[in-house]
Amino acid sequence: MEKQADKDNTNKVSSEELYNRILQIISTLSEVQLKKLLEALEKWRKPKFKEKRKYPRKQTLIWVECSGGRCNLYDFVQNMSVSGLFIETLVPFFVGEELSMSLSLPGEEDPKKIHGKIVRVETRGIGVQLDELLTDI
């Protein structure tokens, strides 16, 4: 009965509280434990299917500024390839919407201006196909 009560309490916790609890636990881990946690998280995030994309994706965390027909947003690119990227955002978008974006690429002084179209919408973000290949990533 106690396990069910714990489960019910976990379901009522806000995202912010979850992040704070996770960070509290992480802050107490040793370096060895942190490495094991990172390995487990990376393994957990790997896709369970064979990648069929023409261009492989790179995991990243790059600040992006986007403007579209309905709104502007400032969020993070979670992964990218030379032909597209995935922007983690809670802002609602629609497939087919066009975006103008400004990325701050590592090692680049000036932001890179790019354009693309939303080809996938998920609860955690949007997939954007770029108008031109981004060969300098």
Structure confidence by residue, pLDDT tens digits, 81-128: 999 999 998 888 899 999 999 998 878 888 899 999 999 999 899 999
pLDDT of residue 18: 87
| Rg, Å, the chain Cα set | 18
Quick one: what percent of the chain has pLDDT higher than 70? Answer: 85
Instruction: For residues 114 and 99, give the distance between their C-alpha atoms in angstroms, rounded to a whole number.
Output: 8
Least Cα distance to 69 among 102, 96, 103, 104 occurs for: 96
Q: Report which DSSP code applies to 93.
A: -
pLDDT of residue 27: 92
Domains in the chain: boundaries: 2-45, 58-130
CB 59 within 8 A of CB 81: no
Count of residues in the chain: 137
CB 96 within 8 A of CB 81: no
CATH of the domain spanning 58-130, picked from 2.40.30.10, 2.40.10.10, 2.40.10.220, 2.102.10.10: 2.40.10.220
CB 87 within 8 A of CB 125: yes
Instruction: For residues 128 and 117, give the distance between their C-alpha atoms in angstroms, rounded to a whole number.
Output: 5
pLDDT of residue 39: 86
- The pTM is what? 0.61
pLDDT of residue 97: 92
Over the stretch 24-78, which tens digit does the pLDDT of each residue have? 999 999 999 988 988 888 877 766 656 566 888 888 888 899 887 767 888 999 9
Averaged confidence pLDDT in the chain: 84
